[in-house]
A and B are shown apart, each in its own frame.
Chain A
Amino acid sequence: MTPDEPLIDFDWVARNLDEIARRLGEHLVMTGIAVVVGFLISFALALAIRRSRRLYGPILAVSGVLYTIPSLALFALLIPITGLSLLSAEIALVSYTVLILVRNIVAGLESVPADVTEAAIGMGFTPLERLRRIELPLAVPVIVAGLRIATVTTVGLVTVTSLIGQGGLGYFIVVVGIRDFFPTPIYIGAGLSIVLALAADVALLGIQRALTPWARASGAA
């Protein structure tokens, strides 16, 4: 690497378009798996908390500790057990989403105003109908807010999994870029990772808007 080298070597980009597309797809899939599995687990935990409030403290404490463990350390702890594998990567990625998602799902379900709940019970909603028709729809903005944070965070963390042989776009940063002191793949990997995070964020925001036409109404009133 010399100072008069161009910032981005477009020849390299042109030669590696297929590889870039493949890694981008891999990055997207790894993020998707982590967020979807994390959401399912968190949703189940939130329903359990809704039934028994006492579970909230312990669940938050455990997911909080997991959240605090640096990603490389968590990957490392999994390597001797599940190997340098996609499974190791996903276990760690999923566990990072749980804290944010559980907190937001519970907060969302609990955000239903007391008078709305009273009216619903008084009109003869069963608990399940209340969850499905009232609590869930009203929780959508808070739940999607959690999904957005979890998704953006996961996109960034996927790059770290390149250190355990996975990694999507992180491959360009670590394996091609840093090891060979070659900046172009670093810029491509980091740049596309940021673009992916922002695109996912905007897409989720769009989904939320589509799901909650009523939330816009308050501004118009």
Chain B
Amino acid sequence: MTAEPALSSSPDDDPGTRSGAVVELEHLTKRYGPSSTPPAVNNLSLTIPAGEICVLVGPSGCGKTTTMKMINRLVEPTGGRVLIDGEDVAGLPAVELRRRIGYVIQQVGLFPHLTVADNTAVVPTLLRWPAPRIRARVDELLDLVGLEPAAYRDRYPAELSGGERQRIGVARALAADPPVMLMDEPFGAVDPIRRDRLQNEFLRLQARVRKTIVFVTHDVDEAIKMADQIAILQVGGVLAQYDTPEAILAQPASEFVEHFVGADRGLKRLSLGRVRDLPLLEPVLARSGETAAEVQRRLDAAEVDYALLVDARNRPVGWIEAGQLGDGEVRDGRLPEDLAMPGAPLLMPESTLRDALSAMLGSSVQLGAVVDEHDQVIGLISVDQIAQLMRRAPDDA
């Protein structure tokens, strides 16, 4: 194992983590009972390229979690084998193997009696790293998952929000820099709005660390969003299709797959596109304290109906409609903050177009504010842009 390089401050720099390893499943079979019982996982073979996210998805009873647990041997296979970078996992003591594989579960499972720092340091501690190295690593990891080390290090899990716990869970899994991470419905217990954000952050993180990730979910949309490769399993642990999300949506291999991904495949394909793929529109920004007339002038110049009210740090507050500015008492006065209609949907460059569309359709204004990781506005997208995209690429199924 190489020493950890110093933490780099720029997000573009590789923080120096070891990148992923190839994971191969060969004729993997699991039966819970004698050979006459139907298998939970049946002769499953697939190769996961190094540094990619492979999502195992399927209805309940399809053996996706069982398959994942055979990789870190929480479940021992009845037949077949698992190779990581060509090495059979059965050749290592299970405990040692698990310390080399990151593991994130839906309920997170943070240890309630340990601080955030100690939770994050669990595997390095098991591996008996020297204390200064552990301390440095913990701070590096907290930074990596977007939590200020000084503010979070000494807190206990009971003092964290659900999203913060999930981030610590990811940091803990990354602690010993494992080439492979297993994630079992990691965002399943988080509410939809936070889930979208956690997914986006995780994708951003993965772009830096390039681990090989096996990700289990029952949610097709999450699979399409997160995956480089999707393995669709059907009941009995049979592999129905293993391909990129694009290929699965374009050419479902069977009726089962077609059914499973759903009738709205045209809409689902929107999950393939990201907000960052669209040309961002220039917003008309307004700040509280400005006069209505000034804002009106800018709206007229841009020929748009809505201005985005932002706070001092350019974070969106809400929409202001051109019509509101004409009202008698507002016209000559300063903009009051409560004039804005709240609920401008906040989108991130990583958000899928599908999520963006449903967020915008759910709000009163058919525009979405795109923000960076500090929640500062970088542009707008509109419902029209997405609609045009759909018209240009009609569903070819």
Would you call B159 and A217 a contact (CB within 8 A)?
yes
Interface string of A92-116 (1 = CB under 8 A from B): 0000000000000000000001111
Contact of A123 among B103, B113, B155, B159 (CB under 8 A): B103
- Residue A177 at the B interface, CB < 8 A? no
Would you call B126 and A125 a contact (CB within 8 A)?
yes
Would you call B107 and A115 a contact (CB within 8 A)?
yes
Closest to B102 in A: A123
Contact of B98 among A123, A212, A214, A221 (CB under 8 A): A123
- Residue B90 at the A interface, CB < 8 A? no
Size class of the contact patch on chain A: 20 to 34
> Within residues 112 to 161 of chain A, which ones have a CB less than 8 A from any CB in chain B?
113-126, 129, 134, 137-138
- Residue A1 at the B interface, CB < 8 A? no
**Smallest CB separation, A218 vs chain B (Å):** 4
- Residue B156 at the A interface, CB < 8 A? yes
- Residue B225 at the A interface, CB < 8 A? no
Q: Cβ of B182: which chain A residues have Cβ within 8 Å of it? A: 122
- Residue A210 at the B interface, CB < 8 A? no
- Residue A220 at the B interface, CB < 8 A? yes
**Smallest CB separation, A47 vs chain B (Å):** 20
Would you call B105 and A123 a contact (CB within 8 A)?
no
Closest to A119 in B: B109
Q: Cβ of B108: which chain A residues have Cβ within 8 Å of it? A: 115, 119
> Within residues 203 to 221 of chain A, which ones have a CB less than 8 A from any CB in chain B?
212-215, 217-218, 220-221
Interface string of B61-96 (1 = CB under 8 A from A): 000000000001010000000000000000000111
Q: Cβ of A126: which chain B residues have Cβ within 8 Å of it? A: 95
Interface string of B259-295 (1 = CB under 8 A from A): 0000000000000000000000000000000000000
Would you call B156 and A214 a contact (CB within 8 A)?
yes
Interface string of B149-183 (1 = CB under 8 A from A): 00000011111100000000100110000000010
Q: Cβ of A134: which chain B residues have Cβ within 8 Å of it? A: 111, 113
- Residue B383 at the A interface, CB < 8 A? no
Report the Cα distance A129→B126, complex, angstroms.
Answer: 9
Report the Cα distance A123→B114, complex, angstroms.
Answer: 15
Would you call A118 and B155 a contact (CB within 8 A)?
no
Report the Cα distance A118→B114, complex, angstroms.
Answer: 16
Would you call B156 and A116 a contact (CB within 8 A)?
no
Would you call A124 and B112 a contact (CB within 8 A)?
no
Report the Cα distance A129→B156, complex, angstroms.
Answer: 21
Q: Cβ of A212: which chain B residues have Cβ within 8 Å of it? A: 113
Would you call A124 and B113 a contact (CB within 8 A)?
no
Q: Cβ of B123: which chain A residues have Cβ within 8 Å of it? A: 123-124
- Residue B99 at the A interface, CB < 8 A? yes
Report the Cα distance A124→B128, complex, angstroms.
Answer: 13
- Residue B97 at the A interface, CB < 8 A? yes
Report the Cα distance A138→B157, complex, angstroms.
Answer: 13
Would you call A124 and B126 a contact (CB within 8 A)?
yes
Q: Cβ of B107: which chain A residues have Cβ within 8 Å of it? A: 113-115, 118
Would you call A138 and B95 a contact (CB within 8 A)?
no
Q: Cβ of A121: which chain B residues have Cβ within 8 Å of it? A: 74, 98
**Smallest CB separation, A90 vs chain B (Å):** 34
- Residue B22 at the A interface, CB < 8 A? no
Contact of B113 among A120, A129, A138 (CB under 8 A): A138
Would you call B113 and A218 a contact (CB within 8 A)?
no
Query: Among the interface residues A122, A126, A129, A213, which one has the most CB atoms of the partner chain B within 10 A?
Result: A122
Report the Cα distance A125→B109, complex, angstroms.
Answer: 14
Would you call B158 and A116 a contact (CB within 8 A)?
no
Would you call A137 and B113 a contact (CB within 8 A)?
yes
Indicate whether A118 sits within 8 Å of B126 (C-beta atoms), given known contacts A214-B114, A217-B159: no
- Residue B147 at the A interface, CB < 8 A? no
Q: Cβ of A214: which chain B residues have Cβ within 8 Å of it? A: 112-115, 156-158
- Residue B203 at the A interface, CB < 8 A? no
> Within residues 12 to 68 of chain A, which ones have a CB less than 8 A from any CB in chain B?
none
Q: Cβ of A117: which chain B residues have Cβ within 8 Å of it? A: 109
Report the Cα distance A33→B103, complex, angstroms.
Answer: 45
Query: Among the interface residues A120, A123, A125, A214, which one has the most CB atoms of the partner chain B within 10 A?
Result: A123
Query: Among the interface residues B94, B96, B113, which one has the most CB atoms of the partner chain A within 10 A?
Result: B113
Q: Cβ of B103: which chain A residues have Cβ within 8 Å of it? A: 119, 122-123
Would you call B105 and A124 a contact (CB within 8 A)?
no
What 9 pairs between A and B have smallest CB-CB spacing? Answer: A119-B109, A124-B98, A115-B107, A217-B156, A122-B103, A218-B158, A124-B99, A115-B109, A221-B159
* Given A212-B113, A218-B112, 10 more pairs with CB closer than 8 A: A114-B107, A116-B109, A118-B107, A119-B169, A122-B72, A123-B122, A124-B94, A134-B113, A214-B156, A220-B158
